[in-house]
Structure 1
Amino acid sequence: MADGGVVAVAGLVLAAPGVVHLFCNYGQFIKERLETFRTAKDVWVDLGKFGHSLSDGKLKVDIELARAAYTTEGFDPALKQFLEDQVKRLGDEVLIAKSFLGRQNVQSIFGRGMFAIRGERRAKEINKALRKHQQDLSDLLVLVGIAKMQLPDKLLLGPSKFQHNESIGYMAVPFTSDLYVTEGDYKERADTESREISVIIERQTRNEAPSEGNLRDIASYLCYRLADGVPKRGVLRCLGYRMDPAPELVFELPEGMDNPQTLHTLITDDMGKGYAGNHPLDFRFRLARQISEAVLSIHTAKLVHKSIRTAAILILHHKIDARDTAAKIAVGLGEPYLIDWRLVREASGVTSRKRSTSQWTEDIYRHPERQGIQVQQKYNLGHDIYSLGVCLLEVGLWDPLVRTRTADGNPQVSDLFKRVANLDSSEAPETLLEQKLKCTLQVKETLLGLAQRELPPRVGLGYTRLVVACLKCLDTPSGFGAEIDFRKLNTTEAGIAFKELVLVSFPDVLL
């Protein structure tokens, strides 16, 4: 089926490295493009389902199986040719669909009229051809026995891929219970030499340990969705996962970086050292912007983190000469990286409305809709942005909301929070505090009051507006503007809205 000068890209053949990823990107484009067609007809719905299957469904698995068989040594040459031809036909039609959808404008009256005249029939033809090629590939896989083949688990770090250096042991990241630094020999591929690297280990020991399937899914998001061939700001490179000695994710420690500590620890360590630990305001602005861009990196990859808080942000420090003043200014407070990936999932995926635990030390960072045992709303990008706003509030105050180093070992909320919550005048402040921490809307209002009262004299009005906008991002109207609704925006639209506000808030901060 020809279409307006569309030329098939050579990358959509099984022999090409990255062909599966390329197909996924096209499927994601088709799915997202159709999300913008708010008056979608049945044909658009069908094309959207195809896009989902191609980006992260059965069709993606079929292409992975075809690629795995094609690259298997000794696989029948005739069958290889059959597979390559079928995938090529599918790829040609996917490119036609991509080109066709890119030209449609069904938001305007004129665009809908043109579609009614000639576009709808063409869309049905494309959809029919796509479904035929999809079914033909599925039938071919069954015919040659590939459908039952097990894909190799490239994410499982067995001894042949990662060998831990036992003499080094595991060094815990200060004031954490599930983060470790260690070293080992890592082999990228079977045909390459191993190299010695330093790694961050994130153990999955909270509550119930995840199944191997769940851990594999998390590693897949981090290795494939967030990798994309280009390092993402604020996201460590994930090498894969291990089940022994415990369920854990393995991340490569960037070269020239050491002394890992969480942002919560960094802020807590500065208590009693003068205002904001005597750090220049520029350093904190730079850190805040870097954290914001880390969250944008996740959302750009169509994922949500679901557990953003200062204890889930790792700060790595550059190895520099302590006497080198220029270098110290250049590196600032260090480089922030998001950690604690146990809840990460697709932004458009299914999310549970039940939570197994409800700790106030984590709930204080969550939007009121997402607190408690039975949460009110499906998770969306706005919930991540709200949590980011709480973190930016802490960076602006340079005072931890949650005090963990207490005399009795029990965490306590900050004195600033208590003051804004008007607990000082109560005859039973601890009882009232406990009640307020259980009232999700009161927690949010206290955080807003804290931002509006304490931030302007410390960090200025621009930074304050950013924090308040994040905390009000899911209000009606949204803190980002009356036209913004994170419950309805797709990930691309939401990312643009947030990025524009961040860039306005930090116009002069160098990255």
Structure 2
Amino acid sequence: MDHVNASLELIHLICATLIFIRDVTKDAGSVSHTTNFLNETLVFLDVFSNVCFSELTGILRDSRVHRTLTSDVEYSLYSLNKSLAAHREAWRYIGKSPIPGAGQRSIEDLKRGRAASLDAQYEQRGWREEMKERSQLWREKARPGLYKALFGEEEMATLTLNCLQWTHRLRQTLEIVFLGIGPPDPGFGRTRQAAILGVAEQLERQHRAGAEPSNDYNALVGALRDPISTEQPSHSLIKTIYDDGGEEVDVLVEPRSDSETPAEYMCHLTWLLQAPHQTDVSVKSDAQDGYQLHTLSCMGFIDDPLNTRSLIIYRAPQSHPWASNPPTLHDMISKGPTARPSIGSRFLIARALTSTLLESHASGWVHGNVQSRSIAMMPRSLNDLELSPFFVGWGVLQPLDATHFALEPNLYRHHDRFGRPSSEYSNEHEIYSLGVVLLELGLWRTMAKVFARRIEKFPIFDIAQQQDLFNRVHNATLDWANSIDIEREMGKAYAQVVLKCLTWHYDDPTEGMVEFRKQVVDVLTTGCGL
């Protein structure tokens, strides 16, 4: 059986089981919210099945789809189906339905892939009444205590988490499919199906990655309440008020010199960063609710030619007002042990960072400058007690004609980018840089401190020193990643994630994204409850 037919059969089994669970629990007041959740999951699976597996237009039937992706969809469905095994056995073996031949028909239809997965289809084929009878039979015949064992609050909470985990993975895999071959049609991102699948934002990001802003997209014409000093360090965020002449908005300003991002590129960069994404999902919710892009909502940029720079304007999160400008992750780590968060909080930060990199790559984006100085730390909402990481510093370029390079920012760079500004960025390069950041986060020690003596000796290096200097830096970084310090501080799983990022290599980018999610993002999820 191929991946498509196997996936179809799994979807049918999952939907039949979820309908049975919904009908058994719908009258229980203590788990009333479960009914709505199960209905939403059923609708998602129905739309997913239609978009991916329909006979004529199913996108996973397209021969251009990477086999890794069809295999991953089957694996996700298999895992979700496996988590429902106990409930499915209750449905299948509770007893005979009063409807003649109903039980045998249902099992055979499922095996042949003819079972429907939505209420409307069940009604058309006589399934709705059968499911009612089955759920009623179960309630009548179940032994005392068995209901709680299968359908109690704790069991329903576990079922909800399992459904969320695997439907989010299906959604993310579908995003990678769209990146490779495009959506079913150009307007798919605006359809109800895209909204149900939760891929509308991702499709818009993919579109912007390969398009240009319209000719009337220009710099913002409003004014900032406070002047922005030219002495501000690179990638720092300055909190102030932006006034467009009619409304005042709390904003965060990122100064960007023309040497880092040429003015002609600024329009495309800020238009790209204006692509829609959720900005109010805390790191704790993200660890449960899927794969999010953790970056700020960009409003545009202000041109500042007198200072040969642009000012990127971000809308400030609706959180408790900061008394000062938000710190970077580098700032926090530099404060030493007194500012060190708990292990669980650091896992949440690490998971959010890796999720962001996964989502940006699946959107066709590259950050270009991953380091702890380009990660701002602040709460996302008034009620959020956790500090969330926000990637800033997008699109910073090294001058192509440079012959001398500062060592500290190159401590985060892959061999192919170490003092090599003309080398094209790849996913592998950014994963390496993220591995260095995760090492800093785990050790709670910046690379500037780890390599303080070397930076003092070689603050600037030239092309002739590239190879030897990188080898020394890289080997020392690997030594830290393999040290007992990181494992003692964060555990073996975290240490292995860091090492994988620092040695990451996949020739196939599609396979690389799927494996990065599996070996890095999902592994970090397990530590978020510590």
Match in the other structure for 2:451: 413
| 1:413 shift after superposition | 2.1
Q: Which residue of 2 aligns with 1:238?
A: 298
Query: Compared with structure 1, are the counterparts of its residues 336 and 211 closer, same or farther at alpha carbon in structure 2 (3 Å cutoff)?
Result: same
Q: Given the superposition, is the C-alpha separation of residues 179 and 508 from structure 1 closer, same or farther in structure 2, using an over 3 Å criterion?
A: closer
Letter in structure 1 aligned against 2:366: V
Q: Which of 393, 409, 416 is the matching residue for 1:369? A: 416
Q: 1:62-121 CA distances to partner (integer Å, 9 max, x unpaired)?
A: xxxxxxxxxxxxxxxxxxxxxxxxxxxx96999xxxxxxxxxxxxxxxxxxxxxxxxxxx
Q: Is the 8 A contact 2:302 2:313 kept in 1?
A: yes
Q: Is the 8 A contact 1:242 1:248 kept in 2?
A: yes
Q: What corresponds to 1:390 in structure 2? A: 436
Aligned AA for 1:199? V
Look up the SS of the partner of 2:405 in the other structure.
coil
SS in 2 for 1:464: helix
Q: Deviations over 1:147-196 (max 9, x none)?
A: xxx94423x2433xxx2243x44489985575422212358xxxxxx432
- In the other structure, the counterpart of 2:267 is 216
Q: Cα–Cα, structure 1 residues 455 and 437, in superposed 2: closer, same or farther, change >3 Å? A: farther
Contact map agreement 2:404 2:460 (CA 8 A) in 1: no
Residue 248 of structure 1: SS of its match in structure 2? Answer: strand
8 Å Cα contact 1:313/1:338 also seen in 2: yes
Equivalences for residues 104-503 of structure 1 within 5 A: 151-154=214-217, 156-159=218-221, 163-166=222-225, 168-170=226-228, 176=234, 179-186=237-244, 194-205=246-257, 207=259, 210-212=262-264, 214-224=265-275, 227=277, 232-244=292-304, 246-257=309-320, 258=322, 259-268=325-334, 270-271=335-336, 273=337, 277-317=339-379, 331-332=385-386, 334-343=387-396, 358-373=405-420, 378-403=424-449, 413-414=451-452, 430=457, 438-453=468-483, 454-474=485-505, 485=506, 487-490=507-510, 493-501=511-519, 502-503=521-522
Q: Give the Cα–Cα distance (whole angstroms) in 2 for the partners of residues 261 and 373 of structure 1.
A: 29
For the structure 1 residues 260 and 174, does the alpha-carbon distance in structure 2 shift closer, same or farther, using more than 3 Å as the test?
farther
**Residue type at the aligned position of 2:297:** R
| Letter matched to residue 279 of structure 1 | P
3-state DSSP class of the match of 2:296? coil
Q: Distance in 1 between matches of 2:459 and 2:248?
A: 54
1:455 and 1:399 map into 2 onto residues whose CA distance is 11
Q: Return the offset for 1:358.
A: 2.5
Q: Is the 8 A contact 1:204 1:342 kept in 2?
A: no
TM-score between the two structures when normalised by the length of structure 2: 0.51
CA contact (8 A) 1:199 1:250 kept: yes
Decide whether the 8 Å contact of 1:451 with 1:467 is kept in 2: yes
Q: In 1, distance between residues paired with 2:251 and 2:429?
A: 30
Distance 2:261 2:187 in 1: 44
Give me the TM-score of the superposition, normalised by structure 1: 0.53
Secondary structure of the residue that 1:315 maps to in structure 2? strand
> Can you list the C-alpha shifts for 1:341-398, whole angstroms capped at 9, x where unaligned?
1348xxxxxx9987665221111101112112466x6421111111000000000000
The structural deviation recorded for 1:337 is 0.6
Secondary structure of the 1:243 match is strand
Contact 1:393 1:467 in 2 (8 A): yes
Q: Is the 8 A contact 2:399 2:421 kept in 1?
A: no
Contact 1:437–1:443 (CA under 8 A) maintained in structure 2: no
- 1:234-266 CA-to-partner distances (Å, cap 9, x unmatched) read 111111122136423211111115341111111
Q: Relative to structure 1, is the Cα distance of residues 261 and 33 closer, same or farther in structure 2, using a 3 angstrom cutoff?
A: farther
Contact 2:367 2:394 in 1 (8 A): yes
Query: 1: distance between equivalents of 2:260 and 2:186?
Result: 42
Distance 1:365 1:431 in 2: 16
Look up the match of 2:118: none
Tell me, yes or no, if the aligned pair for 1:308 and 1:388 is still in contact at 8 Å. yes
Q: Which amino acid aligns with 2:346?
A: R
Distance (Å, rounded) in 1 between the aligned partners of 2:295 and 2:188 = 35
Write out per-residue CA displacement over residues 303-344 of structure 1, whole angstroms, 9 at most, x where no aligned residue.
111210001111124687xxxxxx7xx623x11111111348
Question: Is 1:504 the equivalent of 2:514?
Answer: no
Q: How many residues align?
A: 318
User: Conserved in 2, the CA contact under 8 Å of 1:223 and 1:238?
Assistant: yes
Give the RMSD, CA atoms, in angstroms.
Answer: 4.4
Aligned match of 2:84: none
Q: Aligned in 2, Cα 1:339/1:208: closer, same or farther, shift over 3 Å?
A: closer
More helix by share: 2
Distance 2:224 2:366 in 1: 34
Deviation at 1:301, TM superposition (A): 1.3
Structure 1 Cα separation of the partners of residues 223 and 457 of structure 2: 47
- Quick one: structure 1 residues 353 and 368, their matched pair in 2 at CA, closer, same or farther if it must change by over 3 Å? farther
Q: Give the aligned residue type for 2:353.
A: I
The residue matched to 1:446 in structure 2 has which SS? Answer: helix
* In structure 2, C-alpha distance between the alignment counterparts of 1:356 and 1:215, rounded to whole Å: 25
What is the CA–CA distance in structure 2 between the aligned matches of 1:394 and 1:170, rounded to whole Å?
A: 30
Separation (CA, whole Å) in 2 of partners of 1:457 and 1:215: 44
CA separation in 2, counterparts of 1:356 and 1:436? Answer: 11
In structure 2, do the counterparts of structure 1 residues 37 and 509 end up closer, same or farther at CA, with 3 Å as the change threshold? closer
How far apart are residue 211 of structure 1 and its match?
A: 2.6
SS of residue paired to 2:509: coil
